[in-house]
Amino acid sequence: MFYLDPMYFVYALPALVFGLWAQWRVTSTFQRYAKVPTSSGITGEQTAQLLMRRTGHQFGVARTQGTLTDYYDPSRKTMFLSQSSVQNSVASVAVVAHEFGHAIQDSEGYAPMRLRGAIVPAISASSWLAPLLFIAGWFFSSPQLIWAGIIGFAAAVFFAIVTLPVELNASNRALHLLQSNGILASQELPGAQAVLSAAALTYLAAIAQTIATLLYYLSLVSRRR
């Protein structure tokens, strides 16, 4: 049975290890700079309010549960900040500025963000439908179903690739906002950059994992032929 194929680990294991390392890196980096208070005493939540006053962009700010679960919701024009990101620390300020970067992207109609938002519904469906289509095609010897599944996996790769520039741009905006508005002192900016750079690794890991999955299923088709 193909899901017990040892070759799966040849494709998936390197990407999995990279993903675990990236997750450890972002968690450990955040924890390190979460212990470094800002010299100005500003918190992550206050950073959002200050940036709205300074830039003229107005968005909602709400709380969400969890750690590093922050996100910006374009449909509600609201930044959701986790408990770990509202405190007085370099890490918290960096994360909030990143989400504010997403909010500005939405306000300005940043093209990659709009593209990502447009394909989210299709990706949400294909993420669970693609394996089912492939498995059904495999057992019923249906090339049409197999390739429909392959297309679903390819869509996941495309989504991961589109996500990367959106996240990198938000981080670049965040660093510029923190520096130009004097929110962090010059000696604190490298810490913020370290937090944001570590977070970027998780998106690279997502790309690696989706590509590895796609290549594995392509290899199954090739070997079956």
Instruction: Report pLDDT digits (tens) over 80-134.
Output: 999 888 899 999 999 999 999 999 999 999 999 999 999 998 888 888 899 999 9
- Residues acting as catalytic residues: 99
Is residue 78 domain-resident? no
pLDDT digit string, tens, across residues 209-224: 999 999 999 998 887 7
Is residue 135 domain-resident? yes
Report pLDDT for 127. 85
Distance CA 189, CA 52 (A): 20
Is residue 54 domain-resident? no
Q: Which residues on adjacent β-strands are paired with residue 63?
A: 81
Is residue 11 domain-resident? yes
Q: Which residues on adjacent β-strands are paired with residue 82?
A: 64
Distance CA 178, CA 50 (A): 10
Name the DSSP class of 187.
Answer: T
pLDDT beyond 90 at 7: no
Give the residue numbers spanning the domain of 183: 2-38+89-224
Is residue 82 domain-resident? no
Domain count, the chain: 1
Q: Which residues on adjacent β-strands are paired with residue 71?
A: 80
Is residue 155 domain-resident? yes
Is residue 126 domain-resident? yes
Is residue 107 domain-resident? yes
Distant-in-sequence, close-in-space partners of 194: CB < 8 Å, separation ≥ 6? 29, 33
